[in-house]
Structure 1
Amino acid sequence: MNGHVAVVDLGYGDAGKGTVVDFLCSRGGVRAVLRFNGGAQAAHNVTTETGRHHTFAQFGSGTLRGVPTHLTRFMVVDPLALAGEAAALGKPFHLLTVDGNALLATPWHRAANRRRETGRGADRHGSCGMGVGETMAYAQTHPDAPRVGDVLSPPRLRQRLAAVRASLGDCGVPIDDVVDAFTLFGETVRIVGSSYTEQLLAEGPCVFEGAQGVLLDEWRGWHPYTTWSTTTFDNVTALGAKVTRLGVVRTYTTRHGAGPFVTEDPSLYLPERHNGRDPWQGPFRTGHFDAVAHRYAVEVAGGVDALAVTHLDVPDRCPDLRIADSYRIGDEVWDRIEPGPFRDLEHQEALGARLAVARPDRMTRPDDWCDAIAARLGAPVLLESYGPLSSDKKFR
């Protein structure tokens, strides 16, 4: 593990990317953590040996180890949320660089996101309510969408923010206050060009920290219960990095909010310390290890070089926990979810509808969870995690 590593969740998120990144950074020698998708809706929990806990959103999960964070052009940057996170961390702005071409999330994006999600009533998609998807959607139809580099020119920033407000509607936040806050953000952080990523990669080993999970990918997840973000390794490839592809899974599968979840089993006793119900995502759902869905994630992500398996302490406390090797959908038995054409959302929605009525078919309880998961996902387990601390982890 002396080269660059990309950490990607092979589920619906919440598999433990943050604690894996923290462990990799705890060993020393990491030049920087590069965030390559998502935005302020991320929630990566890290707990140090001294008991300090932080839920990382935009700062990289190596921050408590003193490892710098770089927000690449694929991030959606929320300066207001970032200021709050920085305050909780002790304002480590010296550890942060931001690509000037990254999109800016604004209060108007967030308000529009929440109105849209609330308007769906009982058919909510499970948004985090942070405006990341609204920011991405706006940028698709507005070439002048505000970007991080705009904070260095207050007149241009004001013009572009006014366009966002005119398009998405007012939310009661004075534009002068947002311009002032975003300008201060530009004076506080170091804003760089896209070539800075190449510089970091040349200076030493980097860890790419993904957000959400492959089963929530904007093109490969079960539309419309997905994120407006590329959660596979595609953005890492686009940044020109040659990496070890590390896929992260729990010993059981989880999902936060609405959408198909074939192996969900509320009867399992799987208490969660840092996840629960919130007004936007909905309930935190748990179930048996879904080998079928995780195999699909590996396939659409382009394969993984190795796996990190977290929550290996849980099976001993949950004797009813199983691995689901196949589904039953009516008279059919599936042990593989066949990927559809890339960017075909109609196909993904139809696939999601089939999965919504699927039920686990063949279920087994392995003697060795790492060996069983490695065999089913076709990659070796490189990292074992038995708890939240870096000392709870080891290379296999």
Structure 2
Amino acid sequence: MSHHAIIVVDLGYGDAGKGTVVDWLCATRPVRAVIRFNGGAQAGHNVVLPDGRHHTFAQFGSGTLRGVPTHLSRFAVVDPLALSAEAAHLASIGVRDPFALITADPEALLATPYHVEAGRRRELARGDDRHGSCGMGVGEVMAYSLAHPDLAPRVGDCASPDVLTRKLLRLRAVLDVSGPPVADCVAAFQDFSGCVRFAAGLPPGGPLVFEGAQGVLLDEWHGFDPYTTWSTTTFANALELLGGAPAVRLGVVRTYTTRHGPGPLVTEDPSLVVPEPHNLFGPWQGAFRRGHFDAVAHRYAIDACGGVDALALTHLDAPVSRMCVAYEGLDRLPVNGGAALTSLPMTPVYATVTDWPSAVSSALGAPVVLRSYGPTSDDKICAEGSVLSGQVLV
């Protein structure tokens, strides 16, 4: 069966390697565009090319260094100021005219400095009960749009200064923040509208790679409250955008389970020292934490997604050998029963792993079709005869 798209989703708390998987897909087959279908500027997908160039992708798709265009769908939260900064870095490492490689749906929500200020203020007010915000205002964008759907600034408003001014004045008043003068924001967002082409729906012609942000264990519906994101991190948004067109649902996991900031990490082990050059302490997220591979949590993520077709397994070069195969008395969490992780003590049951691809495939009930032994596309091995081998996209 041919497929119109591959959807790449993180089955953990984020940082599993979605960016490097998308980069490999774009390097090994003809991809029409990378579609961002959730989240916003808080994403941090690291891509390293074989020649050593590195970029942390936030809103641009992780195929940009391969010349593959990005489309920010109506489910993305677009931050024009952060996008401009990202474009500047891409230009500095050799991408000619990055804005020529990006389109945005006019219905996508806008993130503004006012959302950022309000979100950071809210997180600071939580004190020791912080949720681990990325500090980019995405949660405030979503909350405001739900409370004031007709007043929420959207990408298309950037081409209408009067509409945008009215919405931003109202936004700043409702959120009770200071921030930069509204006129300055309007001018910057008008510049954005002159650089980025607006386009509703998906780019025509396919094939497409859908790049998810964050991870299923942070999902707004299925994550472990209150340590969740205001975003649907499963395959749902991508499938809705595809409207029934066939797609490969590719889940990404790494050989050890990690998360940024507070929240449950059942297998956490402070003695687990693995170099993470691109994952450091964040002033808003907090510490980068490491734990052993948690098959129970990843099974839960797969169930919450409605299943996966295949798996990509990253960080196979890491010196790790333990897998949590169950919690004492429990080997599977019911979907939407994840609250147990924040209310009950969980004791992991471990097994020693010598063959990671086989162990992960067996534990999660899906084939590992892509193995990653390092950060570049040259460090990837695709299983012969798998759903990703050959020209899976047509």
Taking structure 2 as the reference length, the TM-score comes to 0.93
Q: Which residue of 1 aligns with 2:177?
A: 170
Partners of 1:85 and 1:18 lie apart in 2 by 15
Once the two structures are TM-superposed, the CA of residue 242 in structure 1 deviates from its matched residue by 2.4
Whether the 8 Å CA contact 2:38–2:213 is kept in 1: the answer is yes
1:277-296 correspondence runs (5 A): 277-296=281-300
Q: Which runs of 4+ in 1 moved over 4 A?
A: none
Contact 2:3 2:248 in 1 (8 A): no
The aligned counterpart of 1:254 is 258
In the alignment, what sits opposite 1:354? Answer: 343
Provide the rounded CA distance (Å) in 2 between the counterparts of 1:146 and 1:125: 25
Quick check: 174-183 or 86-95, which moved more? 86-95
Q: Check whether the contact 1:223–1:352 (CA below 8 A) recurs between aligned residues.
A: no
Structure 1 SS opposite 2:31: coil
Q: Where do residues 191-340 of structure 1 align in structure 2 (5 Å cutoff)?
A: 191-194=198-201, 197=202, 199-200=203-204, 203-239=205-241, 240=243, 241-314=245-318, 317-318=319-320, 321-328=321-328, 333-340=329-336
CA distance in 2 between partners of 1:2 and 1:74 (Å): 22
Q: Which residue of 2 aligns with 1:382?
A: 369
State how far apart, in whole Å, the 2-side matches of 1:205 and 1:188 are: 25
Deviation of 1:389 (Å)? 0.6
Q: What is the alpha-carbon distance in structure 2 between the residues aligned to residue 289 and residue 335 of structure 1?
A: 14
Residue deviations 1:49-77, cap 9 Å, x none?
11000000000000000000000000000
* SS of residue in 1 equivalent to 2:35: strand
| Counterpart for residue 16 of structure 1 | 17
Distance in 2 between the 1:166 and 1:271 partners? 45
Match of 2:141 among 112, 135, 143: 135
Provide, for residues 141-180 of structure 1, a one-character-per-residue CA deviation record: whole Å limited to 9, x for no partner: 1022010001111100100111110101232311110000
Q: RMSD of aligned C-alpha atoms?
A: 1.2
Aligned residue in 2 for 1:182: 189
CA-CA distance at 1:272 after TM superposition: 0.9
Question: Which of the numbers 113, 119, 123 marks the counterpart of 2:125?
Answer: 119
CA contact 2:3–2:247 (8 Å) conserved in 1:
no
1:379 maps to amino acid:
A
Determine the C-alpha separation between the residues in 1 that align with 2:360 and 2:350: 13
- 171-180 vs 245-254, which deviates more? 171-180
For residues 176-217 of structure 1, what are the alpha-carbon distances to aligned partners after superposition, in whole Å with 9 as ceiling and x for unaligned? 1000000110111101123xx1x43xx121100000000000
Q: For 1:325 and 1:100, how far apart are their aligned partners in 2? A: 45
SS where residue 288 of structure 1 aligns? Answer: strand
SS of 1:81's equivalent? helix
SS at match of 1:325: strand
The answer as to 2:29 corresponding to 1:40 is no
Once residues 330 and 305 of structure 2 are traced to their aligned partners in structure 1, the CA distance between those partners, rounded to angstroms, is 20
Residue of structure 1 equivalent to 2:392 = none
Deviations 1:84-105 (A, max 9, x none): 0001111411110000000000
Identity of aligned pairs, percent? 62
SS at match of 1:13: coil
From 94, 106, 109, the equivalent of 2:112 is 106
- Counterparts of residues 15-94 of structure 1 (less than 5 Å): 15-90=16-91, 91-94=97-100
Moved more, 204-213 or 233-242: 233-242
Q: Give SS of 2:178's match.
A: coil
**Retained in 1: the 8 A contact 2:10–2:253?**
yes
Could you list the runs of 5+ residues in structure 1 that have no partner in the other structure?
341-346
Counterparts of 1:42 and 1:32 in 2: how far apart (Å)? 18
Q: Which amino acid aligns with 2:381?
A: K
User: Which amino acid in structure 2 is aligned with residue 353 of structure 1?
Assistant: T
Paired residue secondary structure (1:211): coil
What are the ranges of 5 or more consecutive residues in structure 2 without an aligned counterpart?
92-96, 384-394
Q: Distance in 1 between matches of 2:35 and 2:179?
A: 34
CA contact (8 A) 1:8 1:232 kept: yes
Q: What is the Cα deviation at residue 365 of structure 1?
A: 1.2
State whether residues 263 and 342 of structure 2, in contact with CA within 8 Å, keep that contact through their aligned partners in structure 1.
Answer: no
CA displacement at 1:270 relative to structure 2? 1.4
